[in-house]
Amino acid sequence: MKKNEIPSFIKNKELKLIFFAGKGGSGKTTLAAACSLYYQSLGKKVLVISIDPAHSLGDVFGQKLTSKEKEIKPNLFAMEMNAKEIFLEFKEDYKFPIKKALERGTYLNSFEIDNLFSLSLPGLDEVSAFMKITDLIKNEEYDLIIVDTAPTGHTLVFLNLPSVFRKWIEILDLMQDKHRFIMRQFTKRYKEDQVDIFIQEMEKDLKFLREFLSNPQKCVFVLITVLEVLGLKELDIMLSELKKHKILVKDVIFNRVNFNQECPFCKVQSEHQEKKFSLIKENFLDYNLIKLPLFPYEIQGEKRINQFKEVLEGKEMDFKIQPFNFKIKERINKILPFKEKFIFFGGKGGVGKSTLAASASLFIALNCPDKKVLIISINPSHSLKDIFNLRENNLEKIKLKNNLYLLEINAPLLFEDFKKEYQKDLKEAFKSFLGNNFEIKFDQEIMQELINFSPPGIEEIMVLVKLMDFLDKEEFDFFIIDTAATGHLLRFMELPEVISQWNKAFLKILLKSKVNSLVLKEKMLDFLKKLNRLKEILKDQKLTQFIVITIPEALGLAEAERLLSSLKNLSIPCRNIIINLIIPKNECNFCLIKRKEQENYIDEFIKRTNDYQIIEAYYLNPQGIKGEEDLKKLSQMIFTKELKIRN
């Protein structure tokens, strides 16, 4: 690495907050850990936080972390933020003003409000995590806070949380307005109470946070990606979104760049990455572009994090490896059967979920010409069109073959349409009320805004509810579902139950309100029926199969085990695991040391997961899988026949 390839944030000693954001599997957690060690070595008191629901910060440090700050070495603290735990603390601190506002603004009694309040209210679990970071900044206990974020799609959701919170405050304020109006009518005056003070405090915190995030002297976003098509696409999306939020980005880090050219595999990858980088430089003149090397081993534990830190500081790393003998074991890869109607592909970011889902859909379509297949993405960062090498920007389903269709749904847009319909129906229902009744006008406004009180993730659930429509039409025989990264996938799998409870609470508000809209109630009941059907399908072993994708690295396999455990607890059937991106055998010492480490991880993982069928997949193309021919080759390797693996 050249001496001038040093991130600008390393030079800024006044920083108070650093976000590491980007594609799943690009090394955000490793960079956050290395950066925390760098600043700690300068004598700063540092807190590094993971806000990714699928935490791996503790795995990188080799430490057990929780939602409480833990000192892992002098002046270096770490935590894995559990949004649910922080939400419970938030509710405990502010339950009186929130419940009081709900009581004044709806027709629910105290018991019903307690039930509603027990749910994960509109984004409040994630909003409360954001407010926790705000409190940590304001308390000035730490010189620097470093945040390891979730993969791109959910980082974008996180960036929009201040807007979600702003809307939430406005709804509470509207509910309180009704109370203010009534009090003035009866007493001719109004005195502020705890609800007003709570709303004012939250507004101040929100203003502070917005100003802090947009101050480049105090806060920076560092973007991390890899030199692959999907990584570069997500980079464009993230830069555009940060610009919209008026957040300055100076550093873009291209991680895992292969500088080794000892074998054909490494050479092809290295040349492909360099070609991509040369094209990028022309379009990213305003940014500090940094290339960080691919290591022949996983970065885990303080010794290796320090090695990564040295590279981050601009020091050259010598990867000369002494030749050694290493015999690869042989193992039979069994055929992966596709009998179920719904096949989910899930796992850690960057393990190849979308690629394997695309390959499976093509395999089924080609081998079952009389069956119709729909591959659908519920990942906020859609990539299926790129994998199939399509240039269409179509929100409707795209015909790939006579019996294969692709659908990437804009979930937020789908929910916006749902809200517009709801508000239109509500407006029609309120037309039956005549006169200048101010209380009714307040009720109408509150009822129109209550739809924004929907739980987080409802947009994604609506994508699957849309699948129920396809199911009713009996249009498709197979549904292949490309899911979000692990943490948000697990929340997604829990959502049908949460949203069912929310829907029931919402129906209760409608039934108790002064408006009696039969159309609205029928729509909400229909939504509830579809949710209940979805819950049944997810647990039906004859209808559903969940395939866990992982990679042969400690962090990936640890996350896979957590995912398997959660799926078991949710009673979602899973029998198959694909271990992807295994380095092919060759005589290159760089590849051999990586493969040896992978072999050790695979052997240990197989011992711990002997109830599951393990399928192994090679790193097929160092340039990345793209287009039908690549997908066919991948499917032949995994799905067509029993293969002797590790040869």
Q: Are 503 and 538 in contact (CB under 8 A)?
A: no
Q: Are strands 478-485 and 544-550 parallel, antiparallel or unpaired?
A: unpaired
Residue 644 has pLDDT above 60, yes or no: no
326 within a domain of the structure (yes/no): no
318 within a domain of the structure (yes/no): no
Q: Are 442 and 178 in contact (CB under 8 A)?
A: yes
- Residue 153 confidence class, pLDDT cut points 50, 70, 90: low
Among 244, 279, 312, give the residue marking a domain's end. 312
pLDDT at residue number 191: 86
- Tokens 């069956």 map to which residue? 371
In this structure, are 288 and 161 located in the same domain? yes
What average pLDDT does this structure show over 135-144?
A: 93
In this structure, are 290 and 361 located in the same domain? no
Over the chain, what is the mean pLDDT? 81
* CA distances (Å), origin 265, targets 294, 393, 620, 621: 14, 34, 10, 8
Radius of gyration, alpha carbons of the chain: 26
In this structure, are 209 and 289 located in the same domain? yes
pLDDT at residue number 115: 64
| Highest-pLDDT range among 237-251, 441-455, 461-475 | 237-251
Judged by average pLDDT, the poorest of 2-6, 141-145, 204-208, 537-541 is: 2-6
- Residue 271 confidence class, pLDDT cut points 50, 70, 90: very high
Q: One-letter amino acid identity for 391?
A: R
- 3-class secondary-structure state, position 288: strand
Q: Where in the sequence is the domain holding 141, given as residue range(s)?
A: 8-312
- 167 vs 156: CA distance, rounded Å: 17
Indicate the number of domains in the chain.
2
In this structure, are 290 and 350 located in the same domain? no
Q: Are 563 and 347 in contact (CB under 8 A)?
A: yes
Question: Could you tell me the CATH number of the domain that includes residue 485?
Answer: 3.40.50.300
pLDDT at residue number 40: 95
Strands of 356-476 (E only): list them: 373-377, 398-401, 404-408
Q: What's the angle, vertex CA 10, arms to CA 155 and CA 37, rounded to 5?
A: 80
In this structure, are 484 and 416 located in the same domain? yes
324 within a domain of the structure (yes/no): no
- 86 vs 220: CA distance, rounded Å: 24
In this structure, are 282 and 404 located in the same domain? no
* Closest listed residue to residue 557, CA positions, set 584, 590, 581: 581
pLDDT digits (tens, 9 = 90+) for 77-130: 999 988 778 777 877 888 888 888 877 776 666 776 676 666 554 445 566 677
What average pLDDT does this structure show over 372-389?
A: 86
What average pLDDT does this structure show over 356-364?
A: 94
In this structure, are 150 and 278 located in the same domain? yes
460 within a domain of the structure (yes/no): yes
pLDDT at residue number 183: 84
Q: Are 6 and 290 in contact (CB under 8 A)?
A: yes
In this structure, are 242 and 387 located in the same domain? no
pLDDT at residue number 457: 56
603 within a domain of the structure (yes/no): yes
What average pLDDT does this structure show over 215-239?
A: 85
Greater confidence (55 vs 598) lies with 598
What average pLDDT does this structure show over 271-283?
A: 88
619 within a domain of the structure (yes/no): yes
Greater confidence (118 vs 263) lies with 263
**Cα dihedral angle (50, 35, 312, 620), rounded to 10 degrees?**
-10
At 156, list the tokens.
């974008």
Greater confidence (56 vs 438) lies with 56
In this structure, are 239 and 297 located in the same domain? yes
What average pLDDT does this structure show over 438-467?
A: 63
In this structure, are 135 and 270 located in the same domain? yes
Among 281, 312, 343, give the residue marking a domain's end. 312
- Residue 589 confidence class, pLDDT cut points 50, 70, 90: confident
pLDDT digits (tens, 9 = 90+) for 466-521: 777 777 788 899 999 998 766 556 666 666 666 666 667 666 766 666 555 667 77
pLDDT at residue number 137: 92
Percentage above 70 pLDDT, the chain: 78
Helix crossing, 518-539 with 486-512: angle to 10°? 150
pLDDT at residue number 492: 61
In this structure, are 432 and 536 located in the same domain? yes
Q: Are 576 and 561 in contact (CB under 8 A)?
A: no
CA-CA-CA-CA torsion sign (512, 518, 519, 523): positive
pLDDT digits (tens, 9 = 90+) for 305-341: 999 999 988 888 776 666 666 676 666 666 667 889 9
502 within a domain of the structure (yes/no): yes
173 within a domain of the structure (yes/no): yes
Residue 604 has pLDDT above 80, yes or no: yes
Greater confidence (636 vs 646) lies with 636
pLDDT digits (tens, 9 = 90+) for 390-437: 877 666 788 999 999 998 877 777 777 777 777 777 777 666 554 445
pLDDT at residue number 645: 47
In this structure, are 359 and 303 located in the same domain? no
Burial per residue of 212-240, b for 16 or more beta-carbon CB atoms within 10 angstroms, e otherwise = bbeeeeebbbbbbbbbbbbbbbbbeebbe
- Residue 647 confidence class, pLDDT cut points 50, 70, 90: very low
Among 312, 343, 359, give the residue marking a domain's end. 312
Residue 71 has pLDDT above 90, yes or no: yes
CA-CA-CA-CA torsion sign (353, 359, 360, 362): positive
